[in-house]
Structures are given as C-alpha cells and as structure tokens.
Structure 1
C-alpha cells in the first residue's frame, strides 16, 4: 500500500475531512523529503511498514503504531539531540486535529520517544516498532553498507574525527544490549547478522 493511501485510510477512521487529511499528509511528505535526508526519508517509512505488515497479526493496535511510524522521524536534524521529543510534540498537535482519543495520542507519543534509546518496553507493540526501526542493522552486508553511507551523508556537517567516535558510541550501545531485538520474530530473523554488521562497522570506522 502506498504511504499516502495508508495515511489517508488511517485518518478516515477518525474524521471525514479530506482537506485536513491532505494537509497533514503534505506536511509529512515535505518533512521526510527534506534536503539532507538520505536515510530517514519516505523509503525508511516504507521499509518499516513492510516489516510491520509481516507481523501484523502479532500487533494489538496497528492503528496506533501506524501513526507512530509516520511521525517518529518527522523532525530530524543531525545536529539536534531532541528529534524524538520534537517529533512526538508535533504528532500530538496534529493527531488532536483528527479528534483521536487522547489515550491513543499519548501512546503514539510514548512510542515515538521510545525510539530514542531503543530499550525494551513493557508494551509489546512498542517493541515491534523498535525492532522494525532497527531491522536495517540485520540486513545483508551490501544493504547495511548502503545504510551506513546514507547515515554518514546525513551527518556530513561533522568531520570524521567527530563523527567516528559518535557513531562508534551508538554502535557500542547496541552491541552491549542483551538482545538488540526485543521480539522473537525479529530476534530470530536479524539478531546474529546485526551483531556481525555492527562489529564489522566498528572495526572499519
């Protein structure tokens, strides 16, 4: 399903206002298409939905997680350490316009914030979101290499002597986790390869 179609269909379950929904989609599209977004773009959203669709029967509230995917990187600046918080804040403001119950909006905000540290959550739906977001770590080496190049481009503002230590710190954070992936499905599918990829990147930074 195309991203715009998916977003529109999701919104229509809460409000019948094509103009509002269209405006919200335009904003999302423009944000993820911003210059400098080499990885955290619309293709990233499509990749997440591909992963989540495959385990849809295991997710209790696919509606909520859908909004979380669309808004989790809506604000993305390489020099900022508050992208997740800003993305969550924008999501709250926009979803309120759709007359969505506040409990759902709060859950979306919590799920977006969770993508900052990627620590195991007590909410299994959130764990599926986190795993989908990190699934690229467990892809084949060629795909992973392409991902690392795109991330480097997004952080082009930083010279190597600053980027490499920062990137290594992020990778070591993941490698020290008892399990990078929180759900059985993603762990079985991606855990081993993710650890190999991370080890390889650290050695080559």
Structure 2
C-alpha cells in the first residue's frame, strides 16, 4: 500500500510529506512516476514530496496516515533504511573517505583544495553515485562495498601481501566500479573504467599514482562485470568479493536488496525482469566458487548460496 504522512517536515524553504510503500519499492517507484513525482525526490526508502502535492497524491491513491503510523509500517515492511546505514553514505562522509586515500600522497603545495584534481574527481564521483535513477547502485552500495573491503583487509590471510598502495588501488576500483550505471551490463563497466582512466590521470602526472596503479584500477573495474578474477589475482579477488558481499547479507537485508534492484529496473516488464534476474542468479550459482578469498568463502559463502537459491525459487514460484 502507498502511504503518505502529513506535510510537516520543513526543509529548503518548503514543507514536505513522505511517500512510502509498505509492500515494495517497485510499487513505490511505479506509483511515483505515474503521479509525476520526480526520481530526484527518492531518498533510499521514501520520496520527499512538497505540501502542495499532498491532496493530488491522495487522489491518485495514496493513503493518508500520521507520521508515526507511516514509520511503523515502513519499518515492519523491512524497507526502511536506518540512520546508522545512511551515515556512511552521506556526501561529507564519502568525501572524508576519499581524502583518506591520499593521506600519504605528496603535499599539494599552494594549491587550494577546490583546485585539486582529486577533490574535483571526488565531487564528480559522489554526484554520479547519487543520481536519482539509482535505487540499489547508489551511495549506500558504494559505502557498503568499501566497508566489505575493509573487513576483508582486516583478515590477515585475505590481506597477505597487500600493502597500503595495493589496498588503495582496490579501494579506488570500488569507487569507480559502478560510477557509470545505465543498466547495460558490460558497457557500464567499460565506461566506468574509462572514467577512472580520465579522472585519475592527473594523479599520475602529479606523481600521486604510478602508471601501473592507474592501469590496475581500470582493470579491476572491468573485472566486476563477470566477477571472475584469475587464480592468484589477489586484488581482483578482494574487489570481486567486496562487490558481491551483499549476497551474504542477513535474509531481511537481502530481501531489501532484491526490492532495490527491482525498483531500479521499474520500467522493465515483470516477465522480462524475472527472466533476466533468473539468468543472473543462475550465472552466480554456476560459478566454481562465488567468493575468491578464503575469508569470504568461510564467512559469506554459505549464507550467500542460501540467499541466491531462495530468491531463484521465489522468482520461479511466483505467479506472473
């Protein structure tokens, strides 16, 4: 059901309501688009809509409820994104994380932060990750993959032979791996790799990245298309496993992930989406091993396999 709370939330000189679904994000996005609510109003689990549209949205089918009821039903649906999840994905938190990559880089001299090409790259990247058409592949996903990589690097076995420069290369690959996301498999990764080459080139010229590191970032971005690193490719294994870490989420978090993916492809007809999604699940389940690091195989693989099989069974069992 689509729910709408009273317009009492003040921001940017206006008063706003929250529009949510207690059933599915796909339902929410479809309703919002049909009602002319722009994608830019979406904020992870709800749309912010101005007060002047409240009556119109109720007429379109949204059910008016008080704010407490809306929050309770959103939480019960499993679709709510809690504040502790939002915090690492905020723009300022991501900017801090980006700057930490260059803590050991050469001094900037007299250059201001605003003129530094890496700060410009960070702004470009974060705005790309915040594009309004994204539901799953947004800033929350970026922060989660970086956290997953940190967890793997905290494992002595997974991080064996990975020094600070190699760890930075892996982190950079995750920053760029979905920087271009138009929903075209393969092509998105190619364009993301091209973006990495372009935005990181000034760093090579300034001596803050080596040419080999620059090339390796693009290589690792391309690898996320198939998640099939070669044996012995330690950085490839780390990046691939971090990108797939969501598959090993707790069942309720995994269900929310599948809802986010469906909403991201809201314009794809249901039968076509099921066919494509089932093909992706079959491909993942058909890999010789889903995760490539020992740490991920030991901790994440059992739950990930169960999640994938449960989703595939649900896709095939649900009536068209």
- 2:187 aligned residue: 82
1:108 aligned onto 2:205: no
- 2:67 aligned residue: none
Deviations 1:91-146 (A, max 9, x none): 00110012222211110011000000011333111101100100111111101000
- Structure 1 stretches of 4+ moved >6 Å: none
Select which of 251, 271, 278 maps to 1:168.
Answer: 278
1:39 aligned onto 2:149: no
Q: How does 1:38-57 map to 2 (within 5 A)?
A: 38-56=135-153
More strand as a share of residues: 2
CA distance in 2, matches of 1:165, 1:159: 10
- 2:43 aligned residue: none
Greater mean deviation of Cα atoms: 188-197 or 47-56: 47-56
Greater mean deviation of Cα atoms: 43-52 or 86-95: 43-52
Q: How does 1:146-161 map to 2 (within 5 A)?
A: 146-161=256-271
CA distance in 1, matches of 2:125, 2:302: 34
CA distance in 2, matches of 1:49, 1:164: 29
Select which of 178, 196, 202 maps to 2:306.
Answer: 196
Which structure: larger Rg? 2
Q: Cα RMSD over matched residues?
A: 1.6
- 2:248 aligned residue: 138
Higher relative contact order (CA 8 A, sep 6+): 1
| Alpha-carbon contact 2:136-2:261 (below 8 Å) kept | yes
**Which residues of structure 1 form unaligned runs of 5+?**
none
Q: May I ask how many residue pairs the two structures share in their alignment?
A: 205
Q: Against the structure 1 CA distance between its residues 15 and 169, is the aligned structure 2 distance closer, same or farther, given a 3 Å change threshold?
A: farther
CA distance in 2, matches of 1:23, 1:176: 41
Greater mean deviation of Cα atoms: 121-130 or 87-96: 121-130
How does the TM-score come out when normalised to structure 1? 0.94
- 1:187 aligned residue: 297
How does the TM-score come out when normalised to structure 2? 0.61
Deviations 1:148-176 (A, max 9, x none): 00011111121111111000000000111
